[in-house]
Amino acid sequence: MTEVVRTRTELRAALGHAARPIGLVTTMGWLHDGHRALMRTARAENPTTVATIFVNPRQFNEASDYTQYPRNEARDIEICADEAVDIVFAPNVEEIYPDGFDTTVSVGAVAQPLEGAARPGHFDGVATVVAILFDLVGADRAYFGQKDAQQVMVIRQMARDLAIGTEVISLPTIRETDGLAMSSRNVHLSPDERQAAGVLHRALEAAHEAWSTGERSADALRSMMRDILAGEPLADVDYISVADGRTLRELETIDGPALASLAVRFGSTRLIDNEPLEEPPGTTPPPQVYGG
Ligand code: AMP
């Protein structure tokens, strides 16, 4: 049975009899198969699964993005029940940020580029709410999507630095059949924009393909992605990045784990996606070619 709780007190009571370890999936609702995959893994790896549904006002840098963020709590709760989530914590804003709340968790270098630069204050809002949720739930493990790769890195840094014992686990991006990463924001796309949005993954796949056949110039990959995106008139590029996979600093030469990532607007909807440029665990890197 899925128990839905709305206050810190109700959450504490529900957790009183919960078996450990506790797996946590934090969401902003409007749940899709990406969220389901996180819940399923949490469920498989932990005797207790907690999901949170909270549209966090502090991580939105545009007021209209917050007010227009899609919401359907009844449906979300059904999905959590369908995934056999034990406890759904769906608080209101005052429950998370009570009167007098005045602390911000601000992560350093890894939170600065890409989404950090494009959306000032975004990661402060994310790190602050996730720190609160980790603590309220007492999560042993928390599951996040690779789709928001920088977010995972920011949360890992935050948990390490603040000695928060929650293990941060990242799971692969779940995609639509044309490769578009599932996202709650996809609902805002018009039919034309929805069709055009497939270009994000096509551009990332092309970069990955070039990288896997030996291209090591980051600029070559950036221009390849720029050209593919330019072929889609509805795509309005925000950034195109090929960065170090550990620091997110932009690269000239790819000489270790890297991350290709994109932020692109389709009309008023801003979408992000990424592709790691690294060998999957357990594979042998391609042979080095030495000049001379
Ligand atoms: P959100 O509700 O968008 O804040 O996302 C909640 C969690 O689901 C975050 O850890 C996201 O990275 C993850 N997530 C969102 N979309 C996907 C997806 N398409 N595949 C896998 N995880 C996702």
- Ligand 1 atom at minimum distance from 147 CA: 12
Q: Mean pLDDT over all residues of the chain?
A: 96
Judge if the beta carbon of residue 184 lies within 6 A of ligand 1: yes
- Ligand 1 atom at minimum distance from 37 CA: 21
Apex CA 212: angle with CA 210 and CA 218, to 5°?
55
Tell me the residue length of the chain. 292
User: Would you say residue 289 has pLDDT above 70?
Assistant: no
Residue nearest to atom 10 of ligand 1 (CA): 144
Q: For a substitution probing ligand 1, which of 144, 153, 171, 176 has the most ligand atoms within 8 Å of its CB? A: 144
pLDDT tens-place string over residues 133-184: 999 999 999 999 999 999 999 999 999 999 999 999 999 999 999 999 999 9
pLDDT tens-place string over residues 222-266: 999 999 999 999 999 999 999 999 999 999 999 999 999 999 999
Judge if the beta carbon of residue 203 lies within 6 A of ligand 1: no
Distance CA 250, CA 119 (A): 18
Q: Predicted confidence band at 285 (pLDDT cuts at 50, 70, 90)?
A: low
Backbone angles phi, psi at 27, to 5 degrees: -140, 165
* Peptide bond before residue 21 is cis, with ω within 30 degrees of 0: yes
Q: Predicted confidence band at 91 (pLDDT cuts at 50, 70, 90)?
A: very high
Residue nearest to atom 11 of ligand 1 (CA): 145
Evaluated on CA atoms 37, 40, 45, 51, the torsion sign reads positive
Q: For a substitution probing ligand 1, which of 25, 26, 27, 168 has the most ligand atoms within 8 Å of its CB? A: 27
Residue nearest to atom 18 of ligand 1 (CA): 34
Distance 53 CA to ligand 1 centre (A): 12
Give the active site residues: 35
User: Would you say residue 292 has pLDDT above 50?
Assistant: no
pTM for the model:
0.96
Q: For a substitution probing ligand 1, which of 38, 115, 151, 269 has the most ligand atoms within 8 Å of its CB? A: 38
Tokens of 24: 């946590």
Query: Of 73, 86, 89, which is closest to residue 12 (Cα–Cα)?
Result: 89
Q: Helical H runs in the chain? A: 8-15, 33-45, 63-68, 73-82, 93-96, 115-118, 122-137, 149-161, 191-196, 199-212, 218-230
**pLDDT recorded at residue 182:** 98
Distance 272 CA to ligand 1 centre (A): 11
Judge if the beta carbon of residue 148 lies within 6 A of ligand 1: yes
Judge if the beta carbon of residue 28 lies within 6 A of ligand 1: yes
Judge if the beta carbon of residue 52 lies within 6 A of ligand 1: no
User: Would you say residue 286 has pLDDT above 60?
Assistant: no
pLDDT tens-place string over residues 52-89: 999 999 999 999 999 999 999 999 999 999 999 999 99
Judge if the beta carbon of residue 59 lies within 6 A of ligand 1: no
User: Which residues, in sequence order, are CB contacts of 140 under 8 Å at separation 6+?
Assistant: 20, 21, 22, 23, 46, 165, 166, 167
User: Would you say residue 287 has pLDDT above 80?
Assistant: no
Distance CA 52, CA 29 (A): 8
